Structure formats: C-alpha cells, structure tokens
Structure 1
C-alpha cells in the first residue's frame, strides 16, 4: 500500500512538473511570437524599423505587457530613434482571443519619449513618417488578421524633445509635456487591426504635439505638420478653430522670406500652399458630413 502511494505520488509530481514545463514553454513561445508580430505590424504600418525588448502574455489573466518599444527614425536624421515607449499594459477578454474580433477592455501606454527633429525650414522626422501613412479613404481592404475592438485607450507621461535648426540667438532645443491622450470605442465603427491601430496612435501623438506646440514651435514647422494631419483627417479640433491663424502664419513666413532671396521665397510659398490645401480639403470634408 505504501509502495502504491509512493508510486502515485511520483506520477502526480511528474504530471505537475510536465504541466509547468508545458505552460512555461507555451508562454515563452507565445511571448516571442507576439513580439515578432508587434514588430512586423508596426514596421509595416510606419515604414521604419520597430523593435520591442519584452512582451509578457498571460492567457489565463487576459493580460499583455510590453516594455521598451522603439520606433526608429527615417534615414537622414541625426538621432536614431523617433519614439520610445517605456511600458504598455493591455487587458483583454480571454475568450475573444479565439474569435474573429478580439475585445480589449483597456490599453494603457505609459512613458512615451519622442524626439522631434527639424530638417530644413519646415520638415521633420515625424512629418516624414506621417507622409507615408495612407489616407482613410484609400484603406479599402479588410484587415487580413483579427479585428480589434478597444473600449478604452490612454497614453500618459508623454515627453517631446524638439531639436530645432541651430540659429544664432535662438534656442535649438525645447521640451513639451503633452497632456494624456484618451480614446474610447476604437474599432466600433471601422475595421481595426494592429496596423490601423499603430497608425491611429502615432497620429494621436502627432496631433497632441501640433496642438500643444502652438506658439512654441516655429510657424513653418507647425504649419507643415498641421497640413499633413489635415490631409489624413487627424487635425485636432482646436487647430481647426485656429485654421485662419495657421494660414496667416504660412503667409507671414512667405513675406518674411522675400528679404532672403528667391530660393527661400519659393520654399516659404510651398509651405503656405501646403497648409492652405490641407486645411481647405479638411474643411470640405466636414461640410459634406453636415
């Protein structure tokens, strides 16, 4: 009898150890697979390299943790990175992982550090990436993978280090602290996958920079960024209300350039025209909706 109990004890212990090994192996495999999936989707969405150092998935708890996600700069910039995310936390309905639509209760992204680097009179690294994003109306294909529905998403502790052109007598570095960005019911009306979510997050941060950089960033830089956001329908409401002032800033930049020479005048006029076209196109869209 004692021998039988001992044998059963050994068998049960072996089963428990085997289960633990399987759970750990599945967890490691899932974490690695998720990390690769996140990097692949974000790289495809932004057309620049994206890496993540750690992904922690708990299927039983319905939780996903991300640490140290990095978005690289486009070629030609001094700094290597555009954005670094310290940590992210996702709470998901575990049952929905097996369905076509993954229901996510909340997403919290905390500790976002952005390096906004100016190049030329109005160009910058963030704007270069935004230029490569497709407009909403051009996204006709359905998501290839699972669809996402997110009840609540919040981005907190957002710091933006702005690197401006070195001009004698003016500062070439300034820091912006953005207010938290909150979004709800993502994917409720439109199809949303990881690529579309990446696009939406970057545009939200860019919109926050454009909104809170008003009066701090150079007019040419702000106007050009606002123009690109307008073309994608992502211009913040407060900047829509100040559309006339932005246009005046673009015109003022053009007039100021006349004393510098024909080449600078041409560049300033292009900035003013870009702002005008972007805002006019967005205003027409809003009129149609009404």
Structure 2
C-alpha cells in the first residue's frame, strides 16, 4: 500500500510539472515563435533578422508579426534590405495539434525594400546567394514523437504593394517597381516543410522577383546613359547648340513617322 501511495504521489507530481510546463509554453509561445523566426531568418539570409513582436491567437487561427527587418549584408550602406511593418498569418486551428501545421494564408502588403548596387553585385543578390547556399542543408525526416519538430504547409502566400528604392554607384537613387509575388500550395499538407524550408522558399521567391526588377532597372539606366553619351558626342562633333540638337531630333522623329 505504501508503495502504491508513493507511485501515485510521483504520478501526481509528474502531472503537475507537466501542467506547469504546458502553461509556461502557452504563456511564452509568442516569444518562442519570435526567437525561432529571428534565428532561422538570420541563418538563411546570412545577416541579422529582427522582429519586434508576435501576437498569436490560436483560437481564432491567426498570427500577426510586426516590425520584421532583414538587415543588409556587410559592405552595404542603406539602413536595411527589407522592412515589413505587418505580416498577417491565417492558420487552420484544427491542425494545431497535428503533425503538420496548415497555414491558410500569409499576407505581406506595403513592405519597404532597399536595393543597393556595389560593383557587379547587389545586397539582394548577396542575400539570395546566402539563402540558396543554406538551402543545400538536408532536413531530417519528421519525428512524430518530438513535439518540437514542427512541420508547416502553406496554402497561399502574397507579397504585394512593395515600396522599393534602388541605389547605384553610377546613377544615384531612384524608385523601383517590384512586381507582386503570389505563390500557392507550398509544402505537402501530409508531410509539410520545416520552418527553414518554408522560409527559404518564400524568401527565394521574393528575392528572385526583386533582383530581376533590379537587373531590368540597371539595364534601362545603362541604355539611357549610353544614349545620352552618344547624343552628347554627336552634338560636340557637329558643334551644335542645345536648340539645334533638339530641332535635329524633332526633324528625325518626323521623318521616321512619315510626317
């Protein structure tokens, strides 16, 4: 009987400790998620990733991330690469206790981006290279016995209305248009992706679109610069005034239009 009482007492103590642990996790879940995002983001991008706050509402199936900033790699002078005031996440509450957390939607609207060119590289191409290098690390299979082994599947992702600035060594600063990025069906709902794998796919999609926009803008700037240089050279060679040059351009345009 004494042994039975001792065993029951130990079981009660274990349940109390377990209950306290669950309460602590729930009370500190926002901070745990915040730390995971900062650690995973910094490892993937090769630069500092910081987040002001995380507000989780598991009952409503939502999360709001505020003040997410991806710093520039070393050697770049702008304040940051990305600054996202608000990231909205909608999830399936029924999946919270399952092996794969199903995210229904991740929406990022009105983010700010600084694209900076140094020589033949940009801050975005450097971060993209870091992300791709980090993605070469193979992820272990899911362990259903490990409650900390979180797997994610994302149904819809949108990154829209981005305010972007391009800073170049040769051409100075200008506004940059970055197309909206929309992706669907990221991760198998049955097996999911690790947080690092999901973050890598989202970062790569956004960075690739932004880097393509930078390349197009730089090519257009170079084209305009070459055109201006050729025009200046012709003007000097023919010893024309600005007014004469404008008149000659107008005459040529009328000629080719058939006026």
> Which category of TM-score, normalised to the shorter sequence, fits these structures?
0.5 to 0.7
> Which residue of structure 2 aligns with residue 159 of structure 1?
163
Aligned match of 1:105: 104
TM-score by structure 1 length? 0.60
Q: Give the drift of 1:129.
A: 1.6
Matched residue, 2:255: none
Per-residue deviation, 1:213? 4.1
Q: Which runs of 5+ in 1 are unaligned?
A: 1-23, 222-248, 250-290
* 1:172 corresponds to 2:176: no
Q: Deviations over 1:222-247 (max 9, x none)?
A: xxxxxxxxxxxxxxxxxxxxxxxxxx
**Distance in structure 2 (CA, Å) of the matches to 1:143 and 1:85:** 32
2:139–2:194 CA contact under 8 A, matched in 1: no
List aligned pairs for 1:97-246, cutoff 5 A. 97-120=96-119, 122-134=120-132, 138-142=136-140, 145-165=149-169, 167=170, 171-188=171-188, 191-213=192-214, 215-218=216-219
Q: Deviations over 1:180-230 (max 9, x none)?
A: 211000002985222122222222122222444454224899xxxxxxxxx
**Structure 2: any 5+ residue segments left out of the alignment?**
1-22, 143-148, 224-259
Q: CA deviation at 1:42?
A: 0.9
**Higher Rg of the two aligned structures:** 2
Q: CA deviation at 1:178?
A: 2.1
Which position in structure 1 is the counterpart of 2:233? Answer: none
- CA distance in 2 between counterparts of 1:130 and 1:178 reads 16
Closer, same or farther: CA 137–93 of 1 in aligned 2, 3 Å: closer
SS of 2:76's equivalent in the other structure is: coil
Aligned twin of 1:74: 73
Counterpart CA distance in 1 for 2:78 and 2:211 is 21
Change (3 A) 1:114 1:143: farther
SS at match of 1:75: coil
Aligned length: 196
SS at match of 2:111: strand
